Amino acid sequence: MSAIFVLIGASLIVALGFLFAFLWAARKGQFDDTDTPSMRILHEDRKMAENGSDKDE
């Protein structure tokens, strides 16, 4: 069952990596604003063209 050490080790590396990523993100203020990001993605950089045709419309 020593393979469990590989898996626990590997899993811990991932978990710790993500823990630090989380701490980094929290300190950088990534999670300070939980409202506008969800609105912001809706903004299109480009206007959708109206040409082309849906033959069923």
Partner 1 sequence: MDRIKYDNRIVRDFAMATSIWGVVGMLVGLLAALQLVDPMFNLNAPHSTFSHIRPLHTNAVIFAFVGNAIFMGVYYSLQRLCKARIFSNLLSRLHFWGWQLIIVSAVATLPLGLTTSKEYAELEWPIDIMIAIVWIIFGLNMFATIMKRREKHMYVAIWFYIGTWVTVTLLHIVNSVELPIAFMKSYPVYAGVQDALVQWWYGHNAVAFFLTTPFLGLMYYFLPKAANRPVFSYRLSIIHFWSLIFLYIWAGPHHLLYTSLPDWAQSLGVVFSIMLLAPSWGGMLNGLLTLRGAWDRVRDDHVLKFMVVAVTAYGMATFEGPMLSIKSVNAIAHYTDWIIAHVHVGALGWNGFLTFGILYWIIPRIYNTKIWSSRLAGYHFWIGFLGILVYTLPMYFSGITQSLMWKEFTPEGYLLYPNFLETTLQIIPMHIIRAVGGGMYLTGAIMMLYNLLKTMKQGSLIADEEVSVSPMMPEESSKDKSHPGWGHRWLEGRPAQFTALTLIAVTIGGVIEFVPTFLIKSNIPTIESVKPYSALELAGRDVYIEEGCNNCHTQMIRPFRSETERYGEYSKAGEFVYDHPHLWGSKRTGPDLHRIGGKYPDAWHYAHFLDPNSMSPGSIMPSYHWLARKKFDIELVPKMIGAMRTLGVPYPDGYEERSIRHYRKQANAFILELKNSNIDADAESKMIALIAYMQRLGKDIKGQATDLSETTEEEQ
| Residues near partner 1 (CB under 8 A) | 1-18, 21-25, 27-28, 30-31, 33-35, 37-42, 45-46, 48-49, 51-57
User: What is the Cα–Cα distance from 56 to 36, expressed in whole angstroms?
Assistant: 37
Query: Cβ of residue 47: shortest distance to partner 1, in angstroms?
Result: 10
Q: How far is the CB of 2 from partner 1 (least distance, A)?
A: 3
Min CB(26)–partner 1 separation in Å: 9
